[in-house]
Chains A and B, each alone.
Chain A
Amino acid sequence: MIALLLRDIRLAVRAGGGFGLGLAFFLLVTVMVPFGVGPEPATLAKIAPGILWVGALLSCLLSLDRIFALDFEDGSLDLLATAPIPLEGVVAVKALAHWLVTGLPLVLVSPVLGVLMNLPGPGYGWLVASLGIGTPALSVIGAFGAALTVGLKRGGLLLSLLVLPMYVPTLIFGAEVVKRGAMGLATGTPLALLAGITAGAVALLPFAAAAAIRVNLR
């Protein structure tokens, strides 16, 4: 399991592995938005939580199809499916690796991008907390979507269509945490719901994804 995690991280950070793709996209989105909507600080502060969360979500989406498609194409997935580690474990580890190379960097740079979006002071802690709690769900849900579309040639469009509706609850509660945090209101309820979505997704979806992969490998 640890060997698989290390391999996936190593593949991601080596040339052409896609590390930094999500990060660069996140950066571009948040840099471009102020140009698009104008530089008024009040407007930017108002839309900052939503834009930051949408940006994080889309940059997560960008690298989802790599989770299983590359291993499927070169035959590794067949070999992993016949290896002694359970396929559920393979899914969980690959989702974790995806989060470590995509989600975690987003969490870490989000305060810097918050400055660009003129996020109000109290919002920074909540931005990091909500992304830290919410992005694991994005990776796991994405791994499930990737498992569903793994056998398809260029299944990226279908993957996005499948995954985006499942991302909506995370987006709503994640952005709500930041919005309320920035206004100095209580954030307990959306934060608890966000954590609940993540916990549920992490607990259940590896099993669903493994079942989907088994069907797709037939």
Chain B
Amino acid sequence: MTLLAVHNLSVARGTIPVLEGVSLSLAAGQAMVLRGPNGIGKTTLLRCIAGLQPALEGAIEAVPDAIAYAAHADGIKATLTVAENLEFWAAIFGTRGIDHALDAMNLRHLATRRGANLSAGQKRRLGLARMLVTGRPVWAMDEPTVSLDAASVGLFAAVVSAHLGQGGVALIATHIDLELEAQALDLTPHRAKPPQDGGRKGAFDEAFV
């Protein structure tokens, strides 16, 4: 079963088109790694797929309410403890229990520590644990391994593998090798052409033409 399909998608950052003609399809249990140089539009593509911004053209097919998005920022409240942060997201997504997420990302011993006192890597682990409490099948993750140490990257890869094993899907923008069974999509050939080469004009230009 295809959980996420993207057809001929063009996306813009601000008013400037960055990617065009992106197509991908992920069936249950599959993962895809997005690659490409800085600024190519990996984040923009993920935000578009997560529903945070509209596409210039093309279509995104997904089961409603299936996508969980992990951004660069982890959305951690400094004055709440690790457990309180996770419990909040579990309540928002209507799932129960945060124990499996605490164990999976090795956060058990930090459960009562406040967000302000976490290291960058620990915050990232908490941010990734949040994906586990969403209970959603499609994970769209933006540079999930930033500031993680080698052991935590292994932990994260194991979590993603387990998620795929349960019929989930993961779309990950990353620069490192996660040692996952994953297709790679290089976005470089999809870079949007500038207007003088017949590419799409930005929305800003359109408004004044």
| A residues in contact (CB < 8 Å) with B | 2-4, 7, 10-11, 14-17, 71, 73-76, 78-85, 217-218
Contact = CB atoms under 8 A, between A and B. Distances in A.
B92 A11 contact: no
Nearest to B68: A82
Contact of B69 (A10, A11, A17, A82): A82
A79 B89 contact: yes
Contacts of B68: 82
B146 to A, nearest CB: 13
A88 B81 CA distance: 27
B141 interface: no
B76 interface: yes
Given A4-B88, A82-B68, A84-B92, 13 more contacts: A10-B84, A74-B73, A75-B73, A76-B77, A78-B71, A80-B92, A81-B52, A82-B52, A83-B89, A83-B92, A84-B65, A218-B53, A218-B54
10 closest A-B pairs by CB:
A75-B73, A3-B91, A76-B75, A218-B53, A14-B79, A75-B75, A79-B75, A82-B69, A83-B92, A7-B88
24 contacts: A2-B91, A3-B91, A3-B92, A7-B77, A10-B84, A14-B80, A15-B79, A16-B79, A71-B75, A74-B73, A74-B74, A74-B78, A75-B72, A75-B74, A76-B77, A78-B47, A79-B69, A81-B52, A83-B92, A83-B93, A84-B94, A217-B52, A218-B52, A218-B53
B75 A82 contact: no
Q: Which of B71, B72, B73, B76 counts the most A-chain CB atoms under 10 A from its CB?
A: B73
Task: Place the interface of chain B in its size category.
Answer: 20 to 34
A74 B72 CA distance: 10
